[in-house]
Amino acid sequence: MKRILVTGGAGFIGSHLCERLLNEGNEVICLDNYFTGSKENVVHLLDNPYFELVRHDVTEPYMVEVDEIYNLACPASPVHYQYNPIKTIKTSVMGAINMLGLAKRVHAKILQASTSEVYGDPAVHPQPETYWGNVNPIGQRSCYDEGKRCAETLFMDYHIQNEVKIKIIRIFNTYGPNMNPNDGRVVSNFIVQALKGEDITIFGDGNQTRSFQYVDDLVEGMIRMMNSRDGFWGPVNIGNPVEFTMLELAEQVIKLTQSKSKIIHLPLPQDDPTQRKPVIELANKELDGWEPKIALEEGLIKTIAYFEQVLIKKGELKK
Protein backbone atom coordinates (compact mmCIF):
# COMPACT_ATOMS: atom_id res chain seq x y z
CA MET A 1 0.00 0.00 0.00
CA LYS A 2 1.35 3.41 -1.02
CA ARG A 3 0.33 6.66 0.66
CA ILE A 4 -0.53 9.10 -2.13
CA LEU A 5 -1.30 12.83 -2.02
CA VAL A 6 -3.58 14.23 -4.72
CA THR A 7 -3.77 18.04 -4.84
CA GLY A 8 -6.95 19.28 -6.45
CA GLY A 9 -8.35 15.86 -5.55
CA ALA A 10 -11.97 17.01 -5.26
CA GLY A 11 -11.94 18.43 -8.78
CA PHE A 12 -13.19 16.85 -11.98
CA ILE A 13 -10.07 14.83 -12.81
CA GLY A 14 -8.74 14.55 -9.26
CA SER A 15 -11.89 12.85 -7.97
CA HIS A 16 -11.65 10.14 -10.63
CA LEU A 17 -7.96 9.68 -9.84
CA CYS A 18 -8.61 9.38 -6.07
CA GLU A 19 -11.24 6.70 -6.65
CA ARG A 20 -8.99 4.72 -8.97
CA LEU A 21 -6.02 4.89 -6.56
CA LEU A 22 -8.22 3.71 -3.66
CA ASN A 23 -9.58 0.86 -5.77
CA GLU A 24 -5.99 -0.23 -6.38
CA GLY A 25 -5.43 -0.56 -2.62
CA ASN A 26 -3.64 2.69 -1.82
CA GLU A 27 -4.07 5.21 0.98
CA VAL A 28 -5.13 8.55 -0.51
CA ILE A 29 -4.96 12.06 0.93
CA CYS A 30 -7.14 14.43 -1.11
CA LEU A 31 -6.18 18.10 -0.82
CA ASP A 32 -8.51 20.80 -2.17
CA ASN A 33 -9.56 24.38 -1.40
CA TYR A 34 -12.92 23.89 -3.23
CA PHE A 35 -12.51 26.87 -5.56
CA THR A 36 -13.49 24.68 -8.51
CA GLY A 37 -13.51 21.28 -6.79
CA SER A 38 -16.53 19.98 -4.87
CA LYS A 39 -17.03 17.74 -1.86
CA GLU A 40 -19.86 16.11 -3.79
CA ASN A 41 -17.29 14.63 -6.18
CA VAL A 42 -15.64 12.63 -3.38
CA VAL A 43 -18.35 12.30 -0.69
CA HIS A 44 -18.92 8.67 -1.68
CA LEU A 45 -15.26 7.95 -0.80
CA LEU A 46 -15.46 9.26 2.79
CA ASP A 47 -16.52 5.90 4.23
CA ASN A 48 -13.27 4.36 3.01
CA PRO A 49 -10.86 4.25 6.00
CA TYR A 50 -7.91 4.80 3.64
CA PHE A 51 -9.29 8.08 2.24
CA GLU A 52 -8.61 11.44 3.89
CA LEU A 53 -10.08 14.75 2.75
CA VAL A 54 -8.24 17.96 3.67
CA ARG A 55 -9.27 21.55 2.94
CA HIS A 56 -6.05 23.31 2.01
CA ASP A 57 -4.70 25.77 -0.55
CA VAL A 58 -1.48 24.67 -2.27
CA THR A 59 -0.17 28.24 -2.29
CA GLU A 60 0.54 27.54 1.40
CA PRO A 61 3.04 24.85 2.46
CA TYR A 62 1.66 21.47 3.54
CA MET A 63 3.51 18.83 5.55
CA VAL A 64 2.74 15.13 5.27
CA GLU A 65 4.58 11.83 4.85
CA VAL A 66 3.74 10.36 1.43
CA ASP A 67 5.26 8.12 -1.23
CA GLU A 68 3.77 9.85 -4.28
CA ILE A 69 2.23 13.22 -5.14
CA TYR A 70 -0.09 13.99 -8.04
CA ASN A 71 -0.13 17.80 -8.41
CA LEU A 72 -3.45 18.64 -10.09
CA ALA A 73 -4.42 21.78 -8.15
CA CYS A 74 -5.29 24.66 -10.51
CA PRO A 75 -8.49 25.95 -12.10
CA ALA A 76 -8.46 24.62 -15.68
CA SER A 77 -11.39 26.23 -17.47
CA PRO A 78 -11.08 29.78 -18.89
CA VAL A 79 -14.11 31.01 -16.90
CA HIS A 80 -12.46 30.04 -13.62
CA TYR A 81 -8.79 30.74 -14.28
CA GLN A 82 -9.55 34.21 -15.70
CA TYR A 83 -11.76 35.07 -12.69
CA ASN A 84 -8.68 35.72 -10.55
CA PRO A 85 -5.63 35.55 -12.83
CA ILE A 86 -3.12 36.42 -10.10
CA LYS A 87 -4.44 33.62 -7.92
CA THR A 88 -4.28 31.24 -10.91
CA ILE A 89 -0.60 31.89 -11.57
CA LYS A 90 0.14 31.71 -7.83
CA THR A 91 -1.53 28.30 -7.71
CA SER A 92 0.58 27.02 -10.60
CA VAL A 93 3.90 28.50 -9.49
CA MET A 94 3.75 28.62 -5.68
CA GLY A 95 1.77 25.38 -5.62
CA ALA A 96 4.52 23.69 -7.65
CA ILE A 97 7.23 25.11 -5.36
CA ASN A 98 5.41 23.91 -2.23
CA MET A 99 4.70 20.43 -3.58
CA LEU A 100 8.22 20.03 -5.00
CA GLY A 101 9.63 21.12 -1.65
CA LEU A 102 7.50 18.48 0.04
CA ALA A 103 8.60 15.83 -2.46
CA LYS A 104 12.25 16.78 -1.84
CA ARG A 105 11.89 16.53 1.95
CA VAL A 106 10.10 13.17 2.06
CA HIS A 107 11.73 11.66 -1.07
CA ALA A 108 8.38 11.26 -2.83
CA LYS A 109 7.88 10.86 -6.55
CA ILE A 110 5.80 13.74 -7.94
CA LEU A 111 3.71 14.11 -11.10
CA GLN A 112 2.79 17.48 -12.58
CA ALA A 113 -0.52 17.75 -14.41
CA SER A 114 0.55 20.21 -17.10
CA THR A 115 -1.56 21.09 -20.09
CA SER A 116 -1.73 21.29 -23.87
CA GLU A 117 -2.14 25.04 -23.29
CA VAL A 118 1.66 25.23 -23.02
CA TYR A 119 1.58 24.99 -26.84
CA GLY A 120 -0.60 28.13 -27.04
CA ASP A 121 -2.17 28.74 -30.46
CA PRO A 122 0.12 26.24 -32.17
CA ALA A 123 2.01 26.97 -35.37
CA VAL A 124 2.84 23.25 -35.55
CA HIS A 125 0.09 20.70 -36.05
CA PRO A 126 -0.33 18.16 -34.54
CA GLN A 127 1.70 19.00 -31.45
CA PRO A 128 4.67 16.81 -30.40
CA GLU A 129 6.36 17.25 -27.02
CA THR A 130 9.39 18.77 -28.80
CA TYR A 131 7.32 21.80 -29.91
CA TRP A 132 8.01 24.81 -27.69
CA GLY A 133 4.70 26.53 -28.31
CA ASN A 134 3.26 29.86 -29.44
CA VAL A 135 2.02 31.57 -26.28
CA ASN A 136 1.03 35.21 -25.70
CA PRO A 137 2.71 36.09 -22.37
CA ILE A 138 0.39 39.07 -21.67
CA GLY A 139 -3.01 37.86 -22.90
CA GLN A 140 -6.19 36.83 -21.08
CA ARG A 141 -5.09 33.18 -21.01
CA SER A 142 -1.50 33.88 -19.96
CA CYS A 143 -2.08 33.36 -16.23
CA TYR A 144 -2.86 29.71 -16.97
CA ASP A 145 -0.62 29.06 -19.99
CA GLU A 146 2.48 30.70 -18.56
CA GLY A 147 1.78 29.45 -15.04
CA LYS A 148 1.82 25.87 -16.30
CA ARG A 149 4.92 26.51 -18.42
CA CYS A 150 6.72 27.92 -15.38
CA ALA A 151 5.63 24.91 -13.30
CA GLU A 152 7.25 22.59 -15.87
CA THR A 153 10.46 24.62 -15.56
CA LEU A 154 10.36 24.31 -11.77
CA PHE A 155 9.86 20.55 -12.00
CA MET A 156 12.88 20.16 -14.26
CA ASP A 157 15.02 22.43 -12.07
CA TYR A 158 14.11 20.52 -8.90
CA HIS A 159 14.97 17.30 -10.72
CA ILE A 160 18.34 18.57 -12.00
CA GLN A 161 19.38 20.50 -8.89
CA ASN A 162 17.84 18.37 -6.09
CA GLU A 163 17.36 14.98 -7.79
CA VAL A 164 13.61 15.00 -7.12
CA LYS A 165 11.87 12.16 -8.96
CA ILE A 166 9.51 13.95 -11.33
CA LYS A 167 6.95 13.08 -14.00
CA ILE A 168 5.33 15.67 -16.32
CA ILE A 169 2.22 15.05 -18.42
CA ARG A 170 0.50 17.48 -20.77
CA ILE A 171 -3.25 16.93 -20.63
CA PHE A 172 -5.33 17.60 -23.74
CA ASN A 173 -9.09 18.35 -23.65
CA THR A 174 -10.74 15.92 -21.25
CA TYR A 175 -14.41 15.39 -20.39
CA GLY A 176 -16.61 13.10 -18.34
CA PRO A 177 -18.71 12.87 -15.15
CA ASN A 178 -17.91 15.27 -12.26
CA MET A 179 -17.37 18.21 -14.62
CA ASN A 180 -18.81 21.45 -13.27
CA PRO A 181 -21.93 22.36 -15.31
CA ASN A 182 -20.87 26.03 -15.21
CA ASP A 183 -17.18 25.63 -15.96
CA GLY A 184 -17.44 27.15 -19.43
CA ARG A 185 -15.70 24.26 -21.19
CA VAL A 186 -17.06 23.28 -24.55
CA VAL A 187 -18.31 19.74 -23.77
CA SER A 188 -20.13 20.73 -20.58
CA ASN A 189 -21.49 23.90 -22.22
CA PHE A 190 -22.90 22.04 -25.21
CA ILE A 191 -24.44 19.23 -23.15
CA VAL A 192 -26.09 21.53 -20.58
CA GLN A 193 -27.43 23.83 -23.31
CA ALA A 194 -28.76 20.88 -25.31
CA LEU A 195 -30.44 19.23 -22.32
CA LYS A 196 -32.14 22.53 -21.41
CA GLY A 197 -33.16 23.13 -25.03
CA GLU A 198 -31.19 26.39 -25.14
CA ASP A 199 -29.21 27.72 -28.08
CA ILE A 200 -25.79 26.05 -28.37
CA THR A 201 -23.15 28.78 -28.47
CA ILE A 202 -20.12 28.27 -30.69
CA PHE A 203 -17.32 30.83 -30.59
CA GLY A 204 -16.04 31.73 -34.04
CA ASP A 205 -17.10 29.87 -37.18
CA GLY A 206 -16.98 26.47 -35.46
CA ASN A 207 -14.23 25.09 -37.70
CA GLN A 208 -11.59 25.28 -34.96
CA THR A 209 -10.66 21.79 -33.78
CA ARG A 210 -10.12 19.98 -30.49
CA SER A 211 -9.27 16.41 -29.53
CA PHE A 212 -11.46 15.05 -26.74
CA GLN A 213 -10.42 12.27 -24.36
CA TYR A 214 -12.67 10.59 -21.81
CA VAL A 215 -11.50 10.97 -18.21
CA ASP A 216 -10.92 7.23 -17.64
CA ASP A 217 -8.34 7.20 -20.46
CA LEU A 218 -6.55 10.16 -18.87
CA VAL A 219 -6.46 8.56 -15.40
CA GLU A 220 -5.01 5.38 -16.91
CA GLY A 221 -2.30 7.47 -18.60
CA MET A 222 -1.51 9.37 -15.38
CA ILE A 223 -1.04 6.19 -13.34
CA ARG A 224 1.08 4.58 -16.05
CA MET A 225 3.23 7.73 -16.16
CA MET A 226 3.72 7.69 -12.38
CA ASN A 227 4.80 4.04 -12.62
CA SER A 228 6.99 4.49 -15.72
CA ARG A 229 10.73 3.80 -15.71
CA ASP A 230 12.95 6.00 -13.54
CA GLY A 231 14.89 7.51 -16.45
CA PHE A 232 11.73 8.86 -18.11
CA TRP A 233 10.25 12.07 -16.70
CA GLY A 234 8.50 13.52 -19.75
CA PRO A 235 6.90 15.77 -20.64
CA VAL A 236 4.47 13.44 -22.38
CA ASN A 237 1.20 14.25 -24.17
CA ILE A 238 -1.88 12.48 -22.78
CA GLY A 239 -4.76 13.09 -25.16
CA ASN A 240 -6.90 11.67 -27.92
CA PRO A 241 -5.45 12.21 -31.43
CA VAL A 242 -8.88 12.00 -33.08
CA GLU A 243 -9.76 15.57 -34.07
CA PHE A 244 -13.25 17.15 -34.22
CA THR A 245 -14.47 20.62 -35.16
CA MET A 246 -16.70 22.48 -32.73
CA LEU A 247 -19.56 22.14 -35.22
CA GLU A 248 -19.12 18.36 -35.33
CA LEU A 249 -19.15 18.18 -31.54
CA ALA A 250 -22.27 20.34 -31.29
CA GLU A 251 -24.11 18.23 -33.86
CA GLN A 252 -23.13 15.02 -32.04
CA VAL A 253 -24.41 16.39 -28.72
CA ILE A 254 -27.71 17.51 -30.30
CA LYS A 255 -28.16 14.06 -31.82
CA LEU A 256 -27.39 12.13 -28.60
CA THR A 257 -29.58 14.34 -26.40
CA GLN A 258 -32.35 14.44 -29.04
CA SER A 259 -32.42 18.18 -28.43
CA LYS A 260 -34.18 20.84 -30.50
CA SER A 261 -31.40 23.35 -29.71
CA LYS A 262 -30.19 25.66 -32.46
CA ILE A 263 -26.52 26.52 -33.03
CA ILE A 264 -25.57 30.20 -32.77
CA HIS A 265 -22.16 31.83 -33.26
CA LEU A 266 -20.38 34.34 -31.01
CA PRO A 267 -17.03 36.14 -31.47
CA LEU A 268 -13.90 34.08 -30.87
CA PRO A 269 -12.15 35.02 -27.56
CA GLN A 270 -8.60 36.43 -27.58
CA ASP A 271 -5.84 33.83 -28.13
CA ASP A 272 -8.31 30.95 -28.42
CA PRO A 273 -6.38 28.17 -30.21
CA THR A 274 -7.67 27.34 -33.69
CA GLN A 275 -6.45 23.75 -33.57
CA ARG A 276 -5.34 21.28 -30.95
CA LYS A 277 -4.28 17.67 -31.51
CA PRO A 278 -1.64 15.62 -29.66
CA VAL A 279 1.09 13.44 -31.05
CA ILE A 280 0.96 10.41 -28.69
CA GLU A 281 3.78 8.21 -30.03
CA LEU A 282 5.90 8.93 -26.93
CA ALA A 283 3.08 7.91 -24.55
CA ASN A 284 2.47 4.79 -26.60
CA LYS A 285 6.16 3.87 -26.43
CA GLU A 286 6.92 4.70 -22.80
CA LEU A 287 3.59 3.93 -21.08
CA ASP A 288 3.11 0.27 -22.06
CA GLY A 289 1.23 1.00 -25.27
CA TRP A 290 -1.12 3.61 -23.74
CA GLU A 291 -3.71 5.03 -26.10
CA PRO A 292 -7.29 6.24 -25.62
CA LYS A 293 -9.86 3.42 -25.65
CA ILE A 294 -13.17 5.29 -25.34
CA ALA A 295 -14.62 6.81 -28.50
CA LEU A 296 -16.32 10.22 -28.41
CA GLU A 297 -19.87 8.89 -28.76
CA GLU A 298 -19.47 6.36 -25.93
CA GLY A 299 -17.93 8.98 -23.65
CA LEU A 300 -20.58 11.58 -24.49
CA ILE A 301 -23.39 9.13 -23.65
CA LYS A 302 -21.90 8.59 -20.16
CA THR A 303 -21.31 12.31 -19.66
CA ILE A 304 -24.83 13.27 -20.81
CA ALA A 305 -26.32 10.77 -18.32
CA TYR A 306 -24.28 12.41 -15.54
CA PHE A 307 -25.39 15.94 -16.45
CA GLU A 308 -29.03 14.83 -16.69
CA GLN A 309 -28.88 13.71 -13.05
CA VAL A 310 -27.12 16.92 -11.96
CA LEU A 311 -29.72 19.14 -13.65
CA ILE A 312 -32.64 17.09 -12.31
CA LYS A 313 -31.18 17.35 -8.79
CA LYS A 314 -30.85 21.14 -9.19
CA GLY A 315 -34.44 21.39 -10.43
CA GLU A 316 -33.32 22.70 -13.83
CA LEU A 317 -34.58 19.65 -15.72
CA LYS A 318 -37.66 17.47 -15.31
CA LYS A 319 -37.41 13.69 -15.12
> Known catalytic residues?
144
How many CB atoms neighbour CB 73 within 10 A?
29
Nearest to 250 by CA among 237, 259, 242: 259
SS3 of residue 62 by DSSP = coil
Phi, psi dihedrals of residue 78, rounded to the nearest 5°:
-55, -40
**Residues with Cβ < 8 Å from 27, sequence gap 6 or more?**
1, 2, 3, 4, 50, 51, 52
Tell me the HSE value of 5 on the side-chain side, using a 13 A CA sphere: 28
**Residues with Cβ < 8 Å from 217, sequence gap 6 or more?**
240, 292, 293, 294
Phi, psi dihedrals of residue 220, rounded to the nearest 5°:
-60, -45
| Residue pair 116/239 in contact by the 8 Å Cβ criterion | yes
**Residues with Cβ < 8 Å from 274, sequence gap 6 or more?**
121, 208, 209
Per-residue exposure over 254-274, b if at least 16 CB sit within 10 Å of its own CB, e if not: bebbebebebeeeeeeebebe
Beta strands, E only, the chain: 3-7, 27-32, 51-55, 68-71, 109-115, 166-171, 174-175, 200-203, 209-211, 213-214, 236-238, 243-245, 263-266
| Residue pair 154/103 in contact by the 8 Å Cβ criterion | no
* Chain centre distance of CA 110: 16
Task: Burial-class residue 234 by CB neighbours within 10 Å (0-12, 13-18, 19+).
Answer: buried
